[in-house]
Structure 1
Amino acid sequence: MTGSFGLDLALLMLRVAAGGFLLPHALGKLLGWFGGPGLGGFAGELRGFGLPSAAPLPLLLALLQVLSGLAVLLGWQTRVAALAAAAFIGFTTLLALPKGWFWMRGGVEYPLMWTFILLAIACAGPGAWALDGPLLQGDLA
C-alpha cells in the first residue's frame, strides 16, 4: 500500500476542498446555478477583462472548470485535472493583480491560495482514496 493513513486523509481533504469549492463556481458559469452568471454573464465577465468572449470560448472554459473540479473532487485523472484547474485559477490570479493583494478588494490573495493548493495536489497525486488511487483500483502492492 502506498502512502500512509494521515497523508491519504490529507490528500482526500485537499481534493474535496479544491474540487468542492471549484465545482459550484464552474456550474454557476456554465448553468447559472448558485447565483452564477450563466454562459452569457460569463462571456460578459470575459469582455470586462478585455478577453475574447465569442462562442464557444465561454462554454469551453466553463466546461474545463466543471470537468477539472469534478475530476479533482473524485480523484480521477487527478494530476492533469489539478494542473488544468490551477492554470484556470492562475489566470484569474493574473487578472486580479492590478487590484493588489487582499481579496476583499478583488486582489490576488484568494485565487493565489487556490492555485497553490491545486498545484500541490498535482504534485502529490490523489492519495489512496481516489478513483486513481490504489485502494479503489485494487492495487495494494
Structure 2
Amino acid sequence: MELFRRPEQAEGIPRTEEELGLDPDVPVVGADKTDPRHAGANGAEDSQAEADQPASTYEYASIPPAPTLPKGSVRVPPRKDENRRGTVDFGLFLLRLVLGGTFIYHGLQKLTGWFHGPGLDGTRDMLADGGWDNPTLSTTLVTVGELGGGILLVLGLGTPFAAGAVLAVVLDAWAWKQGMVPGLQYKAGPGAVELESVLAGLAVAIILIGPGRWSFDRNRGWATRPFIGSFVILLLAIAAAVGVYWYLHGGNPFSGIGPFD
C-alpha cells in the first residue's frame, strides 16, 4: 500500500488559474489602467514588462499609512497612573498630625496651664528669668506661634505659613537653650537641643514637601507641587527667628562652639 501519492497522481487538485477560478485579466491594485501592459496577460512581452515593473510598497495594503503630523508638533502618549500618589498623602497627614499636635500641646501648656504647664503668668516669668527683654511680647509670640501654628498644621490650612510660624518659634527655642551653657549639648545637659532640632527638621520638611491632599489646602499648588514659594517662606521663617531673637534676647547662642568662641 502506498502511503504517499505523488502530486501528479493526485486527483481533483486544481492546477491552472481557470480551475482556481482566477481571472488573469484583473488589473493589479494601484496600477495604471491605461498602461497597455495591464490590458491583458497575453504574450511574452507583457509578462516580461510586468516582471520588470517594481511592486508598490502599499500595493496590497488594506490600511493606509498614518497621516504626517504638522511641523513642530509632538505626539505625547498619555501617562497612566500620573495622578496616583500611593501612601504619600497619608504619610504627610501623619507628619502634620504629629508635629502640629506637639505644638498644640505646648501651646496649651502656656495658654491654659493644662498638662502641668506654666500658664501665661508662669511663661512670662520663665522668659523674664531667661533674659528676654520684653517677656509679655515674647510670651504672646511663642503662645500664638505654637498653638495657632499647630492647629493650622493639623488642618492643613495655610500650611507653609503655619509650618513657618512653628519653625521660627522652635529656632528661637533652640537658640535660647543652646545659649544657656557654652558648648554644644545636643542630647544631654541643660542646653540639650535634640528635640528642638527634630521639630525644626520636620517643619522644614513640610514647608518644602507640602501638606498633601489630605488637607484643606488640597486644591492649592503648594499641597502637591511646592516650588519657589516654599523656599521664600523658609527663608522668611529663618529671618523672623533671627530678628526676634536679636531684638528680644540678644547674645550669641553659638558661644563656646568651635569658631564661635
Structure of larger gyration radius = 2
Structure having the larger proportion of residues in helix: 1
Q: Which TM-score applies when normalising by structure 2?
A: 0.48
- Give the Cα–Cα distance (whole angstroms) in 1 for the partners of residues 169 and 105 of structure 2: 15
1:66 equivalent to 2:66? Answer: no
Deviation, structure 1 residue 34: 1.1
Deviation, structure 1 residue 86: 0.7
Deviation, structure 1 residue 63: 1.8
- Tell me: CA distance 1:74–1:128, structure 2 relative to 1, closer, same or farther (3 Å): same
- Give the Cα–Cα distance (whole angstroms) in 1 for the partners of residues 196 and 127 of structure 2: 16
Regions of 4+ moved over 4 Å: 103-106
1:119 equivalent to 2:204? Answer: yes
Q: Choose between structure 1 and 2 for higher RCO, CA contacts under 8 A separated by at least 6 residues.
A: 1
Matched-pair contact (CA < 8 Å) for 2:104–2:147: yes
Match of 1:128 in 2: 213
Which of 127, 141, 156 is 1:46 aligned to? Answer: 127
- Tell me: CA distance 1:2–1:17, structure 2 relative to 1, closer, same or farther (3 Å): farther
Q: Which TM-score applies when normalising by structure 1?
A: 0.86
What secondary structure sits across from 2:136 in the alignment?
coil
Residues 1-141 of structure 1 mapped to structure 2, 5 A cutoff? 4-97=85-178, 98=181, 100-102=185-187, 105-134=190-219
Deviation, structure 1 residue 90: 1.1
AA at the equivalent of 1:70: I
Match of 1:138 in 2: none
What is the aligned length? 135
Deviation, structure 1 residue 75: 0.5
Percent identity over paired residues: 29
What secondary structure sits across from 1:33 in the alignment?
coil
Unaligned runs of 5+ in 2: 1-81, 220-261
AA at the equivalent of 1:93: W
- Give the Cα–Cα distance (whole angstroms) in 1 for the partners of residues 128 and 141 of structure 2: 15
Q: Residues 37-96 of structure 1: CA distance to partner in whole angstroms, max 9, x if unpaired?
A: 000111112112201344344134312211001001110100110011011011111112
- Tell me: CA distance 1:56–1:16, structure 2 relative to 1, closer, same or farther (3 Å): same
AA at the equivalent of 1:10: G
What secondary structure sits across from 1:12 in the alignment?
helix
